A and B are shown apart, each in its own frame.
Chain A
Amino acid sequence: MRSSAKGSRADGSPRVRPLRPLQHGFRVARALLASQYALMLEFRAEVLLWALAGLVPFVMLAVWIESPAGAALGMGPTQLARYFLAAFVVRQFTVAWVMVVFEEDALQGRLSPMLLQPLHPFWRYLASHVAEQAIRLPFVALIAALFFLVLPWAFWLPTPQRALLALAATILAFLLNFLIQCSMACLCFWSDRVNALERLIFIPMLFLSGMAAPLEAFPPALRRLAEWTPFPLLVHFPAQLLAGGEMNIAAGFTALAVWIAGLLLLVTLLWRAGVKRYGAMGA
């Protein structure tokens, strides 16, 4: 960026000031976020419906509360209610849909102009996700308030420490999910029917992430198996932090960092190899 700015100055246009990379980054980020927020605001009705479509944890809470299995686990109704509400909230802010959008952009040829811009297309998707979360926030707060209205005995405020840790874990979990989706989206360069894979990844997401049952309820062998996958980090770990359950905090954050670093590398490699193959749809 710097060199191009200098170049244009050499051309004799006095108004272009050289920007330092950090400054430039801030400007791009602000412009992207503002435009994506405006775009997403148009879709607020859909965002509300998407938020409501994540009500699986509440259905599961109803079954768990009524079943004696919860008590056998050492989780009373209060603890269960808190866990599943936390799972709902965490899930709301870790959803990613890069695959769907990217496949559509690639198939419709919108990817080509995006590749010409001096900005990686994934930054645009990231901004769009963040903007959508901002619009989701009041809806989620409303649903949580309704939840406490129905089950007032479940109300709790996490300690400031736990709240901060949960927030950090949720942001990292979102990044992890985003990168998982990005790595699969890159497969669009090799096949034009990647959407079907989305269905496959949703299955372990439902059963292993902790959305349908706290991982503590799993048989030990299955739990160990699940913990070798990134899925419990996406919902169970941040949710337990928020709900005040006992967790190995250091291990969770380490696992998040390792997965994110690994996937970042994978996405970079896949992207480089993929763009070389890209022939633009219809060309």
Chain B
Amino acid sequence: MGNPLGRYLLTLRRLWGTALAMQLEYQANLLLEVVAAIANLIGSLLLLSLFYGGGRALGGWSWPQALVVLGVYTLLEGITSTWLRPNLSTIVGHVQQGTLDFVLLKPIDSQFWLSTTRLSLMGLPEIATGLGLMIWAAAKAGIRTTPWLLCQTLLMLLASGLLLYSLWFLVATTSIWFVKTWNAIEVLRAALSAGRYPISAYPAAVRTLFTMVLPVAFLTTVPAEAMLGRLTLPWLLLSLMVACLGLALSRAFWQFALRFYTSASS
């Protein structure tokens, strides 16, 4: 079987190859997604511009700086529809129909399998517009990209992606007990829409809530700060720590939940 890491990488390549081949069957849907991504971008820009008339600024962020935050948010939305939604939405079905048994029997880590089997192209237009907006807005804000800045941004985006994954996985895991909780994902998504704006745009109490309880601040504001070159080292380390904590928590919670899994019809 070779070394375990190699085995996992090979599995991943096979899984994603199949997923992409399947996706290319639905090209019309992808076109629709492009239209949706553009419409969404226009809407978000319009909404954001309402806060910037007459020389006002949003929470001390200039227009191009706030656009970087919006770019990160759009990117995360794209990642959600490409990676998180297609995979984690299957968990509830597996629990309902008892097919989770087959997943658990596979000689591969169940969390890995459930989190990586599928890949959808539907989020690609949003990933592209998000990245484009980030790069364009950072240039507009007068940022000179150095390799160090790039590394820092990528690292923070990775941390934010993993944190988002952990949140989704935590909610998805609850369907082991309550099949109906899948709708809680929609509540999570609505709450995370707060990430469209820099965290300092919120009143102090809400800011605390979005940093300590629901870590929206680490999802979009921190990567944007990194891209704008004003992220301090403590925040960088804190963000990494929160992401690792989230991952560890999702892992522990999954293993805890599996102890209560009794398969369907038993």
Structural contact, B58 and A53, CB atoms closer than 8 A: no
Structural contact, B51 and A52, CB atoms closer than 8 A: no
The stretch of A29-37, A56-64, A131-139, A240-248 in contact with B is A56-64
Structural contact, A67 and B183, CB atoms closer than 8 A: no
Task: Give which listed residue, B46, B180, B181, B203, contacts A62 with CB less than 8 A.
Answer: B203
Write out the residue numbers on chain A whose beta carbons fall within 8 Å of the beta carbon of B35. Answer: 200
Write out the residue numbers on chain B whose beta carbons fall within 8 Å of the beta carbon of A204. Answer: 39, 43
Inter-chain CA distance A196–B43, complex, in Å, is 18
Task: Give which listed residue, B29, B54, B189, contacts A72 with CB less than 8 A.
Answer: B54
Judged by DSSP, the binding face of B is helix
Judged by DSSP, the binding face of A is helix
Structural contact, B51 and A67, CB atoms closer than 8 A: yes
Task: Give which listed residue, B183, B191, B202, contacts A46 with CB less than 8 A.
Answer: B183
Structural contact, B187 and A200, CB atoms closer than 8 A: no
Write out the residue numbers on chain B whose beta carbons fall within 8 Å of the beta carbon of A217. Answer: 50
Instruction: Verify if B201 is at the interface (C-beta below 8 Å from A).
Output: yes
Instruction: Verify if B73 is at the interface (C-beta below 8 Å from A).
Output: no
Please give the distance in Å from A207's CB to the nearest CB on chain B.
Answer: 4
Task: Give which listed residue, B40, B193, B201, contacts A66 with CB less than 8 A.
Answer: B201
Task: Give which listed residue, B46, B59, B190, B203, contacts A65 with CB less than 8 A.
Answer: B203
Instruction: Verify if B194 is at the interface (C-beta below 8 Å from A).
Output: yes
Task: Give which listed residue, A50, A62, A68, A213, contacts B202 with CB less than 8 A.
Answer: A62
Instruction: Verify if B140 is at the interface (C-beta below 8 Å from A).
Output: no
Structural contact, A49 and B184, CB atoms closer than 8 A: yes
Write out the residue numbers on chain B whose beta carbons fall within 8 Å of the beta carbon of A55. Answer: 187, 190-191
Nearest A-chain residue to B28, judged by Cβ: A193
Write out the residue numbers on chain B whose beta carbons fall within 8 Å of the beta carbon of A218. Answer: 50
Task: Give which listed residue, A45, A66, A206, A219, contacts B180 with CB less than 8 A.
Answer: A45
B residues neighboring A (CB under 8 Å): 26, 28-29, 32, 35-36, 39-40, 43-44, 46-47, 50-54, 56, 58-59, 178, 180-181, 183-184, 186-187, 189-191, 193-194, 197, 201-203, 206
* A-B interface, 8 closest residue pairs, ranked by CB to CB distance from nearest: A207-B43, A49-B183, A53-B186, A52-B187, A62-B206, A203-B39, A59-B194, A69-B51
A-B contact pairs, 29 of them (CB 8 A): A45-B180, A46-B180, A46-B183, A49-B180, A50-B183, A52-B187, A53-B183, A53-B189, A53-B190, A55-B187, A56-B190, A62-B206, A63-B58, A63-B202, A65-B203, A66-B59, A66-B201, A67-B59, A68-B56, A69-B51, A69-B56, A72-B53, A72-B56, A200-B39, A203-B36, A203-B40, A206-B43, A207-B43, A207-B44
